[in-house]
């Protein structure tokens, strides 16, 4: 996996995600906060929406992408998500988390050159979304003849 330098702006993005989840955290409702920096420099934040029926739950990254698109933003520079511990967890640290597979697809669909901030083995890393979703499904690959 190719990695890139974590910048001051990246740390600001992580802080924006942390501030959003700290402000809006509710047990069994919201425990993921996301922050997205658009190509225009705007930061869009969101929390995930938990549902008792799991498949209805919507990730914070997806909501941030939806907010950005709804506000007229066309491209994304970097995205970060953080996880707030549940109230019964002993470890109270808010940590950076990796986007799920569906969010990886969504981010890649809307901005294939977007950077993603991850925590790997306790260390912050930054990579391109394409690194997290090799052999991505596209209309082009769907139309390819089977061997």
Strand-pair partners of 138: none
The arithmetic mean of pLDDT across residues 81-91, rounded, is 91
Which entry of 12, 23, 50, 61 is annotated as an active-site residue? 61
Q: What number is the average pLDDT over the span 117-130?
A: 95
Question: Rounded to an integer, what distance in angstroms lies between the CA atom of residue 33 and that of residue 58?
Answer: 12
* 78, 36 Cβ separation under 8 angstroms: yes
- What is d(CA 128, CA 85) in angstroms, rounded to the nearest whole number? 27
pLDDT (mean) for 8-28:
95
User: 117 by DSSP, 3-state: which?
Assistant: strand
Q: List the domains of the chain with CATH numbers.
A: 8-142 (3.40.140.10)
pLDDT at 56: 86
The model's confidence at residue 145, banded by pLDDT at 50, 70 and 90, is: low
Neighbouring residues of 52: CB distance < 8 A, sequence distance ≥ 6: none
User: Is the predicted pLDDT of residue 144 greater than 60, yes or no?
Assistant: no
Tell me the average pLDDT across 94-104. 95
User: Bigger pLDDT: 93 or 144?
Assistant: 93
pLDDT score at 135: 73
The pLDDT > 90 percentage for the chain reads: 73
pLDDT above 70 (res 141): no
Residue 58 clears pLDDT 60, i.e. is over it: yes
Active site includes 61? Answer: yes
Asked whether 131 and 2 are in contact (CB, 8 A), the reply is: yes
């Amino acid at each position: 996996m190719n990695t890139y330098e974590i910048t001051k702006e990246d740390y600001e993005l992580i802080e924006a995600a942390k501030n959003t989840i700290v402000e809006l955290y509710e047990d069994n409702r919201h425990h993921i906060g996301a922050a997205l920096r658009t190509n225009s420099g705007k930061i869009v934040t969101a929390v995930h929406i938990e549902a008792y029926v799991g498949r209805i739950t919507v990730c914070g990254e997806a909501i941030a992408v939806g907010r950005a698109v709804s506000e007229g933003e066309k491209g994304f520079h970097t995205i970060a998500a953080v996880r707030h511990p549940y109230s019964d967890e002993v470890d109270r640290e808010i940590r950076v988390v990796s986007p799920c597979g569906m969010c990886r697809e969504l981010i890649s669909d809307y901005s294939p050159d977007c950077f993603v901030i991850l925590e790997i083995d306790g260390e912050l890393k930054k990579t391109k979304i394409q690194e997290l979703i090799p052999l991505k499904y596209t209309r082009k690959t769907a139309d390819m003849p089977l061997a």
